[in-house]
Structure 1
Amino acid sequence: MPPRVLLPPTDADARRIKRSRVISYALVVLAAIVFSMRPELFGDPQSQPVHALLHGWRIVAGVVLAVAALGVQVVVGVRWRSGLRRAAADE
């Protein structure tokens, strides 16, 4: 079995990869901002019974943003590899 050799990305693929990295970094930064929000931003927990719910949604939103950042990278990688396979099949 021949060793796997990955070709460098084409110009269009390189642009797509760069854009996906920027989007992923932005999503990770947003997740970090959401995670770093202090519960006091939502008001006094003694006077607002919804405080616990808002605090929980902060955690859920941060996790969703982090998973979305990972998903962007996975989708772009899969598309690039499938493009390489199609190009190899055409040859």
Structure 2
Amino acid sequence: MPPRVTLPPTDADARRIKRSRVVSYVLVVLAAVVFSMRPELFGDPQGQPAHALLHVWRIVVGVLFVVAALGVQVAVGVQWRKGLRRRALGDGDDGSEPAGNRAPGDR
């Protein structure tokens, strides 16, 4: 089986990928901040009956931030792959003909 060649992203795709990385990094940093919060920040554990829920919510919110960061990367990756397939089939915005339909001398 021949190896697959992945084309470099277009300028628009490169900007989208860079923005998605920044968003993912911010979400991961927020998750780290939430995970690092100490229960003492929320007051005296004996004075609050629902203090145990603070531990659970801290973990749930941190995991949600991490899952959101992963979701951003997956969504952008899927969108980029769809664009590659569209351009490979000749349905791209540039109006070019797919490489397989050109004469060998034109490639």
Deviations 1:32-85 (A, max 9, x none): 000000010111111100111122100100000001001100110010011000
Distance in 2 (CA, whole Å) between partners of 1:74 and 1:41 is 34
Whose Rg is larger? 2
The corresponding residue for 1:62 is 62
TM-score, normalised relative to structure 2:
0.82
Give every structure 1 segment of 4 or more consecutive aligned residues whose post-TM-superposition deviation is greater than 4 Å. none
Where do residues 1-91 of structure 1 align in structure 2 (5 Å cutoff)? 1-90=1-90, 91=98
Alignment root-mean-square deviation, CA: 0.8
Task: Give structure 2 stretches of 5+ with no counterpart.
Answer: 91-97, 99-107
Distance in 2 (CA, whole Å) between partners of 1:80 and 1:71 is 14
TM-score, normalised relative to structure 1:
0.96
Distance in 1 (CA, whole Å) between partners of 2:76 and 2:2 is 25
Identity of aligned residues (%): 80
Task: Give structure 1 stretches of 5+ with no counterpart.
Answer: none
- Structure with the higher helix share, 1 or 2: 1
